Amino acid sequence: MSFHHIGIATYDLSNAIRVYQKLDFKLKDNELFVDLIQNVQLGFMEKKDNPLIELVAPYGLDSPISKILKNTGSTPYHTCYQVVNIELSIKDLRKQHFIQLINPTPAVAFNGRLICFLYHKTIGLLELLQ
């Protein structure tokens, strides 16, 4: 398992991008994504020697990000780790008391690679990326 990015929930993707650009981050590949499976719009911000940041905003009324924003406002809300085998990683994490929130799902932002979200009461939300 290797660290991939930090996910940050935001109400307004364009404004969040502008703020990070003022902090010398760049929009990775000048690319934004709409993921109709997850009902989110997103973009990745990068800066040399800094972690990759995924900005995630609601897309549609039933976006899971809307609930996060309602409860906590704009905030870092998940860490993502890249794994070789998502099913084995889920199995191992469940033994460590992680709760699987969704089945592995293809992600638009990762060219259809599988993602899965799990939760642990001590560290919060974790995303796996195969």
Q: What is the CATH number of the domain that holds 33?
A: 3.10.180.10
User: In the predicted model, is pLDDT for residue 19 greater than 90?
Assistant: yes
Residue 60: is its pLDDT beyond 90?
no
pLDDT for the residue numbered 62 = 87
pLDDT score of 114 more than 90: yes
Report the alpha-carbon distance of residue 74 to residue 60 in Å, rounded: 17
For the chain, the domain total comes to 1
Does 61 score more than 90 pLDDT? Answer: no
pLDDT of residue 36: 93
Mean residue pLDDT across the chain: 96
CB 33 within 8 A of CB 52: no
The domain in which residue 111 lies consists of 2-129
Rounded to an integer, the average pLDDT of 67-90 is 96
CB-based contacts of 69, cutoff 8 Å, min separation 6 = 9, 10, 11, 58
